[in-house]
Amino acid sequence: MRRSTKFINNIIRIPINSSFRFHPIGYKFQSRPISALYITGDKAKETYATLLPFMNFKSTFEQGHELERSIRHRQMKSNLNKIMKMYANYKEFNEKIKQLEEERDATAKELRQLIKQETNDENMMNSLKEKGISLRNDLKRLKENFYPFEDEFIHMFLDLPNQLHLHCPLGEHERILYQYKEPLTNGKCHLIQTTFVEFIDNTRYYFLDEAAEFDIYCTQAFTQYVLQKGHFTQTANPDFVRCVLLEANATPMHYYHKVMEEHLNNQLNTAFLTGGASFESFLGTVTKLCVYPSFLPLKWVCCGRLYEKVLPMATDDAQNLYTATQSNAVQTFVATSTAYEAEEQMDSILNLCVDFYRNFNIHFRVTYVPAFQLTSSESLRAQIEIYSPHQKRYICVGRVSNYKDFVSKRILFTGREEKEYNFLHIVGGPILYTTRLTAALLEHEQPFLDQNQLFAMISKDSSADVKKKPINEFKNLFK
């Protein structure tokens, strides 16, 4: 089976104003000067606001201690004190604008009343007209001065991270939740297995014979496993995602390939090639969506392509299947009404992963990654990792993240309870990268499971009692 993403070069170009640049030792990132998530009034003539995120300034800054803690442990450069001072100026600006608008409305109302009364007081009418013109010009100047400040403040506010989950490790090391078997200490590079793989570079590689079949059937089998054991609903998602959704999820722009479009109505809201099995591809479906309680939790799963650029762990890292741009993947997305339900769903997904990965008869572990490795939107991330005996390090073959209601507020994804609307809590992530799993099996010299063996996992009985699940057993030790 030929697996190539070389076609990307024919449809994708790096524009002049791209948010990233190539660098000899990886990528050198630059901040986006303009956001697609929040459009100020002065840009309304050039573009339009696709989405207006919910921003509760007061509630956010009232939790300044937790926010400062999150910034510190994530090793971010955000200056919370500066942003809070800017917020005071932001409120002052808004008050002045509101005051001028009210004064202008009152002047216009008074002028209309004089016209209705048909009075001949020309001096009064001219005075009111001049005052109205003066207020209009003052308001225009104030807004023109306010827009750059508003742009800077709002973007700095949107760059603030999610609060950290209580289970998130704060130090430099991960926390192990579950471990299966012992790691293999020595192994050969998977690229020498030319019977099964022909690797050219990160965008071009070809699976052969049993590896090609495994690449397809493993994805299908895991999807069916999640559908039947986890009671999920399967979806089909778009391969392209607009910039506004990446920003809403605080996804670093260098994760995906930017598409150069010939005819683009909104110059800010560009498209990115993510693949249908990306987490962001779900977000367009639920943007501005209101869900009734009877439909919760929403439990969706999707299998397909995932185009994700992997940065090298070190400057001398060679390209291989662990760093390949394209992979078949199984992606999960769950929405719940409360934080507690979100935790339960995350544990449930991890338990399904543990049951599935144990069938490959090699060492793997489930860990909580430290805070400094999280994206801004993630509150907690659990990774399924397999040890590479050749590279002497753990490789992530799947992950699940807890986003709390951080993303929902940005895309206006709500649940309705009686007359109230609450932002939903989201959990999800790619629970299988087949390319990385295939590479790990080659290094462990394990035979590939065929179609019958893979689909036999679905009918195999797993632990029915949730309390006996491995992830829950670990957590019970700390109660």
User: DSSP letters along 444-474, please?
Assistant: TTPPPP-HHHHHHHHHS-----GGGSHHHHH
Return the closest-CA partner of residue 360 out of 466, 232, 214.
214
Mean pLDDT of 78-105: 91
Topology given in CATH for the domain delimited by 57-158: Helix Hairpins (1.10.287)
More confident residue, 475 or 389: 389
Helix axes 122-158, 80-117, angle to 10 degrees: 160
Residue 374 corresponds to which tokens in the numbers above? 């999280």
φ, ψ dihedrals at 423, nearest 5°: -75, 135
449 contacts 431 by C-beta, under 8 angstroms:
no
State mean pLDDT over 7-29. Answer: 34
Calculate what percentage of the chain has a pLDDT beyond 70.
85
More confident residue, 149 or 386: 386
Query: How confident is the model at residue 477, as a pLDDT?
Result: 58
Is 50 exceeded by the pLDDT of residue 99? Answer: yes
- 104-132 pLDDT per residue, tens: 988 888 888 887 776 667 788 888 888 88
pLDDT in tens, 69-85: 999 999 998 899 999 99
Q: Where in the chain is the domain with CATH 3.30.930.10?
A: 175-239+274-476
145 SS3 class: helix
Q: For the chain, where do the domains classified as CATH 1.10.287.40 start and end? A: 57-158
Query: Residue 464 above 90 pLDDT?
Result: no
How high does pLDDT run on average in the chain?
85
Query: CB of 157 within 8 A of CB of 83?
Result: yes
What is 175-239+274-476's CATH superfamily?
Answer: Bira Bifunctional Protein; Domain 2 (3.30.930.10)
Select the more confidently predicted residue: 388 or 420: 388
What average pLDDT does the segment 327-341 reach?
Answer: 97
Vertex 239: Cα angle to 236 and 240 (nearest 5): 130
